[in-house]
Amino acid sequence: MSRYSAQQSSISENNRSRILQYLYHNGICSRAQIAKAIKLTPAAITKITAKLLAQGIIDETGDMDGDKNRRSIGLNLNCAKYHIIGVKFARSLVQIAVFDLKCNRIFLSDLPTVSEEHIPETVERIRDTVRQLIKDDPSIVAVGMAVPGPYLKDEGRTALVSSMQGWRQINFIDEFSNAFSVPVFVEQDARAGALAQFLFNPELSEGSLAYYLLGEGIGLGVIDNGTIYYGEHGTATEIGHVSIDVNGKPCDCGNVGCLERYCSANAIHEQLNANPSIVPGCETMTHAQACAALFAKANAGDETATLLMLDVARYVGYGAVTIINAFNPTHIVLGDIIAQAGQPLLDEVTQVVRERTIPEIGRNTRITLSALPTDATVTGAAAVAITNFLEHPSMFFDVA
């Protein structure tokens, strides 16, 4: 392909994407409305939408009111027509879900708890499960995967997975990119979660968004004015490995006092196992179950459980202070396992931020709990695939 042809192809793909994204976010629109909104000529819109209609990507919906009381034909991207698989990797937990393009959940399954020695079997189980889902549902057009960070995006592997190093041996690109009959997209888990918040919550799409993942690890994804922040190798924003105590607990990363050693689900479970009277039977629970039991006891008024929960929340707050000072986001969204502690967690984090940040900066950062109906990371895995569907339609359809 010549340089000119490549440029024209890129421009055409960009224009197709802009039309699909406009319909995705605004619903049924006329050609004239789209032309005005994205600043293309009516002739260009007619040409591009004709190809999208021919491929069945969009539909005509009949007459609608146009400018100056003229009748127009509406165009619609039927978001229920296409389905996406999201896969969440979180050390011992793997979730697989199916969504439509608006992230309405159709299916969700947790695989058996993953142990270090059974990671290869888990990878094979994921392949088998996803293949069966695609076979059973021809509407599935893509797979998105959210994996623990620090994720080396060009290499396809995670540089470090605290407490379960076996995942470092898995190259997600090699294992999954050609495993299915539909395209596969892999993203670091917290960035995937940020993308889900950005895509499915219009209130968070303006300004700078930080998704603060509080799960089996601690992660951060930052989207600044619509652009994900990656860094050189894709490992930027690794808040979990920022030290908050130079004389603190050793971490698998080689540092000491890392944030995730104090407020991750793994760290909480470790404390509960050392003090089993707080949550009897915690030794046989998963990390998520142990945390849920702790939060339930705290909400019921148990003093010891409440003190531990608030101690964890303070450490989460220290991380929020670092996020504010480093990235100055408009919004911070707390999500994943620890966010299930709810309002008491949010109140304590907000108090720490109020005490420890420059007032003019801290008070202008809005901190909220994730409002997504499904776990933000598995939703984020789907959001990664949905974003690629909207941005690169020629990967999925013959629209050239």
pLDDT at 1 over 50: no
- Looking at domain 83-195+377-395, its CATH superfamily turns out to be ATPase, nucleotide binding domain (3.30.420.40)
Are 83-195+377-395 and 206-371 equal in CATH topology? yes
How much is the average pLDDT of 141-170?
A: 85
SS3 86: strand
Residue 92 pLDDT: 84
Yes or no: say if 329 and 197 are a contact pair by the CB < 8 Å rule: no
β-bridge partners, 146: 88, 187
User: pLDDT by residue (tens digit) across 317-351?
Assistant: 999 999 999 999 999 999 999 999 999 999 999 99
User: pLDDT by residue (tens digit) across 166-189?
Assistant: 788 889 999 999 999 999 999 999
Torsion 100-101-102-103 (CA) sign: positive
Q: What is the CATH number of domain 3-77?
A: 1.10.10.10
| DSSP letters for 114-157 | P-GGGHHHHHHHHHHHHHHHHHH-TTEEEEEEEEPSSEETTTTE
What is the pLDDT of the chain when averaged over all its residues? Answer: 91
Residue 331 pLDDT: 96
Residue 7 pLDDT: 56
Residue 374 pLDDT: 72
Cα separation, 235 vs 213, whole angstroms: 15
Residue 348's Cβ-count burial label (10 Å; 0-12, 13-18, 19+) is buried
Contacts of 342 (CB under 8 A, 6+ apart): 295, 299, 369
Contacts of 124 (CB under 8 A, 6+ apart): none
| Three-state secondary structure of 299-338 | HCCCHHHHHHHHHHHHHHHHHHHHHHHHHCCCEEEEECHH
Report residue 201's pLDDT band, with 50, 70 and 90 as the boundaries: confident
User: Angle at the Cα of 204 (from 198 to 207), degrees rounded to 5?
Assistant: 100
| DSSP letters for 97-123 | EEEETT--EEEEEEPPPP-GGGHHHHH
Cα separation, 366 vs 382, whole angstroms: 25
How much is the average pLDDT of 189-194?
A: 93
Q: What is the CATH number of domain 206-371?
A: 3.30.420.40
User: pLDDT by residue (tens digit) across 12-50?
Assistant: 899 999 999 999 999 999 999 999 999 999 999 999 999
- Domains in the chain: boundaries: 3-77, 83-195+377-395, 206-371
| DSSP letters for 195-245 | HHHHHH-GGGSSSEEEEEEESSSEEEEEEETTEE---SSS-TT-GGGSBS-
pLDDT at 223 over 80: yes
Residue 323 identity: I
User: pLDDT by residue (tens digit) across 3-13?
Assistant: 444 455 788 89
